[in-house]
Amino acid sequence: MFSVKKIVVGVMMPESRPWNAANLAAPSRLAVRQAFEVAEAMDSTVELICVLEEAEAGFFESEEEAKAESLAEHAEASAVLADLKEQYTARMGRPVEVIQTVAFGRPWLEILKAAGPATDNMIMCGTREQAAISRLLFGNTGLKLLRNAACPVWLVKPRIDDDADLDVLAATDLSDIGEDVLHAGVALGQRLPVRLNVMHVVDNDGERRVARMVASPEIFAAEREKAVANAEQILHQQLALTDYRTVGKGVQVHVEVGVADECILDALAKLDIDLLIMATSGRDGIPGMLFGNTAERLLPALPCSILAIKPDDFVCPIEL
């Protein structure tokens, strides 16, 4: 069962001064909004955290001036977080506990510290604005959170169709952690207005092996049909372990044949997906691993937000 005790939301201050909640970048605004929506639905605590750079004495005439600047920025950031808390708690149908934290240091590390080793917490952060280099889409902070957090990480990208419904694709490799991905998708679908799609991609390695044997088209077709039927059976068995029938807007099942990352990107575009849920590397106990090859290739090209589910035995390699 997918549940969230605390949602740690990274809030980046606006580039222009003075800082105020209205000037937050779109990814940060959306991350805060969705965090409160999930928190209300799952009865979670929200921690709004802003991480600032420590003012360096060398930039000022004295250490006292540097300290005064840091204190001023701390107060200004605290006021922004307080404003966000007031705005969003006023919209909630039931009380949501909110923690406000302003820290100095490296954003990814301070966010990891706030989330801690608990696997039932979740980190939410806005992505950086679209960069000229696509590999910077999720930024250095986002990538380090994905690699090191013990809990799920939701990197939020602004949506083109910012409607009330969230179009979700839960991609499973049919392993144990693939079941966790399905549970997460179903849990969101039970509590939020979600159009849930679940997907598995059958690798066409089998067809390539048959091709090397110079097999007939009939054998090609039989090989594919057998692989797809087996995958559909396992996928429905995994779904049966969830409460998928209680998803308000239903669940659509997709089984494709091909290269996983290419099929997933194609589905994201065709289904106009807002959020991709997928697993990190399998339960191999290797700390600091990000994803398998599929997600490593996917990340730079993702047009939507991503929720990364971690194995239960994943250990953060950073001493917190």
**What are the tens digits of pLDDT across the range 74-100?**
999 999 999 999 999 998 888 899 999
List, in order, residues 6 or more apart from 196 with CB less than 8 Å away. 168, 170, 185, 186, 188, 189, 244, 247, 249, 250, 251, 252
When pLDDT is cut at 50, 70 and 90, the band that residue 165 belongs to is confident
34 Cβ contact partners less than 8 Å away, ≥ 6 residues apart = 124, 154, 156
- Mean pLDDT of the region 140-159: 87
Q: What is the pLDDT of residue 310?
A: 87
> Could you give the CA distance from residue 216 to residue 206 in angstroms, rounded to a whole number?
14
**For the residues 228-232, what does the mean pLDDT come to?**
91
Question: What domains are defined for the chain?
Answer: 1-158 (3.40.50.620), 160-320 (3.40.50.620)
d(CA 241, CA 171): 16
Q: What percent of the chain has pLDDT over 90?
A: 55
Residue 72 sits at the vertex; the CA angle it makes with 68 and 77, to the nearest 5 degrees, is 150
* pLDDT score at 160: 58
Considering the chain, what percentage of its residues have pLDDT values greater than 70? 82
Closest CA to 157 of 142, 140, 146: 142
Statement: residue 208 has pLDDT above 80: no
- 23 vs 14: CA distance, rounded Å: 6
Q: How confident is the model at residue 139 (pLDDT cuts 50, 70, 90)?
A: low
Which comes out higher in pLDDT, residue 26 or 312? 26
User: What band does 298 get if pLDDT is binned at 50, 70 and 90?
Assistant: confident
The pLDDT tens digits for 15-38 are: 888 899 999 988 899 999 999 999
Rounded to whole angstroms, how far apart are CA atoms 187 and 173? Answer: 19
Q: Which residue would you say has higher pLDDT here, 232 or 223?
A: 232
pLDDT in the model for residue 314 = 82
Q: Which pLDDT belongs to residue 312?
A: 80
The pLDDT of residue 209 is above 60: no
pLDDT of residue 21: 93
Say what the pLDDT of residue 263 is. Answer: 92
The whole-angstrom separation of Cα 45 and Cα 39 is 6
Query: Residue 134 pLDDT > 50, yes or no?
Result: no
Mean model confidence pLDDT for the chain: 84
Q: Is the pLDDT of residue 3 over 60?
A: yes
What lies within 8 Å, CB to CB, of 181 at 6+ separation is 170, 171, 172, 277, 278, 279, 309
Look at residue 98 in the predicted model and tell me its pLDDT. 97
Nearest to 44 by CA among 118, 149, 135: 118
The average pLDDT across 35-54 equals 94
Confidence grade of residue 131 (pLDDT, cut at 50, 70, 90): very low
Burial 105-138 (b: 16+ CB within 10 A, else e): eebbbbbbbbbeeebebbbbbbbbeeeeeeebbb
Q: How confident is the model at residue 214 (pLDDT cuts 50, 70, 90)?
A: low
pLDDT at 161 over 80: no
